[in-house]
Amino acid sequence: MSRSILVTGSGGQIGTVLVKKLREKYGNDNVIATDLRELDLAGPQEILDVTDVARLEELIVKYKVDEVYHLAALLSSKGEQNINLTWKINFEAYKAILELAVKYKIDKVFFPSTIGIYGSTTPKQDTPQHSVFEPETIYGISKFTGELWSEYYRNRYNLDVRSLRFPGVISHEVIPSGGTTDFSVEMFYAALQTGHYQCYLEADTMLPMIYMDDTIKAIMDLMAAPEEDISLSLGYNLSGFSVTPLQLYNEIVKRIPGFTISYDPDDRQKIADSWSETIDDSRARSDWQWKPDYDLKNTVDVMLANIKVS
Ligand code: AKB
């Protein structure tokens, strides 16, 4: 069946890879990539500032959109530098998408949530699907509010909204920026480019992570699952594996002898300390058969095999 799919934030870490995969599955012309800037992509693309609701509506009408992925976001660390813009992009633009989805009878909406919705009062080990959520960054607050609106729209308007709580995403296609988990990508580039990495988190700060191929698999599987298998529009807990900067370093240095690391924690330490260490993603496993393919070791192998440094 032909679908018209609109993706916001298509030039970001996840968007770059997801647009490619969606186009492989649904055809180039059926996936409209949008971003603030022009992208180096074949296939339909449009400049879109997601805070411009009139433009968003114009594109939804122009392409008769029936699926939206709202990937545009400011992440945890950058978000603290501009809380009003973070709220506008992460939540208000998303709320506008929900309203337009009802108005134009859009079939399905994907909302990326995050481990940033957890706070210091959330259990850190095996964080359950339903728990205490008192996020401590505007990023977490905007994403948790988005989750609540997703569930509300599902219950009130029968809108098919699906969502995942992403851990740190490790990938070699685009280097992430503005997040607290960025060290998990930066460390690979430093190992290959300069041979030294200065980490902005303490050596033993454990955080949940996921490799990009598993991230894309999770999004595609969740969105393709029969509606009756989806038991919530809140974000599903999701995890690949958990790792500390020191554990990641130890795996990299086994493969790149001589690589060194030092630690100089900054503001991001406080954010990382408020997040969970390990996640219970059993609801995703039972509802739509989520199962990651990548652990720490094969993630390190595939990253080092694919990063191109000049
Ligand atoms: C961040 O570090 O802000 C993101 C996230 C975990 O959502 N990568």
Residue 59: per-residue pLDDT: 98
Q: Is the four-CA dihedral 60, 47, 211, 245 of positive or negative sign?
A: negative
pLDDT at 310 > cutoff 80: no
Q: How many angstroms separate the alpha carbon of residue 104 from the centre of ligand 1?
A: 31
Read off the tokens for 121: 């009062």
Q: Where are the alpha helices (DSSP H) in the chain?
A: 13-26, 53-62, 76-79, 83-86, 93-103, 138-157, 183-193, 212-224, 245-255, 268-273, 282-288, 296-306
Q: Is the CB of 180 under 6 A from ligand 1?
A: yes
Q: How many angstroms separate the alpha carbon of residue 58 from the centre of ligand 1?
A: 30
pLDDT in tens, 176-194: 999 999 999 999 999 999 9
Q: Is the CB of 183 under 6 A from ligand 1?
A: no
Three-class DSSP category at 114: strand
Report which secondary-structure segment, H or E, holds 208.
strand 207-211
214 close to 293: Cβ distance less than 8 angstroms: yes
To the query of whether residue 139 is one of the catalytic residues in this protein, the response is yes
Residue 91: per-residue pLDDT: 98
Q: How many angstroms separate the alpha carbon of residue 294 from the centre of ligand 1?
A: 19
Please tell me which residue in 94, 118, 139, 294 is annotated as part of the active site: 139
242 close to 251: Cβ distance less than 8 angstroms: no
pLDDT in tens, 198-229: 999 999 999 999 999 999 999 999 999 999 99
Strand-pairing partners, residue 61, are none
Q: DSSP letters along 157-181, please? A: H--EEEEEEE-EEE-SSS---S-SS
CB atoms within 10 A of CB 80: 20
49 close to 58: Cβ distance less than 8 angstroms: no
Crossing angle, helix 296-306 and helix 245-255, to 10 degrees?
A: 50
Q: How many angstroms separate the alpha carbon of residue 177 from the centre of ligand 1?
A: 9
> Going by DSSP bridges, is the β-strand pair 241-243/207-211 parallel, antiparallel, or unpaired?
antiparallel
Ligand 1 pocket mutation pick from 182, 210, 270, 279 by most atoms within 8 angstroms of CB = 182
CA distance 291 to 225: 14
For ligand 1, atom 7, the nearest C-alpha belongs to 114
17 close to 70: Cβ distance less than 8 angstroms: no
Residue 1: per-residue pLDDT: 61
Q: How many angstroms separate the alpha carbon of residue 181 from the centre of ligand 1?
A: 6
133 close to 118: Cβ distance less than 8 angstroms: yes
Three-class DSSP category at 306: helix
For ligand 1, atom 8, the nearest C-alpha belongs to 168
Ligand 1 pocket mutation pick from 14, 71, 138, 166 by most atoms within 8 angstroms of CB = 166
Residue 95: is it exposed, middle or buried by C-beta count within 10 angstroms (0-12/13-18/19+)?
A: middle
Q: Is the CB of 210 under 6 A from ligand 1?
A: no
Read off the tokens for 37: 């800037």
CA distance 2 to 143: 30
CA distance 163 to 151: 10
Q: Is the CB of 239 under 6 A from ligand 1?
A: no
pLDDT in tens, 239-297: 999 999 999 999 999 999 999 999 999 999 999 999 999 999 999 999 999 999 999 99
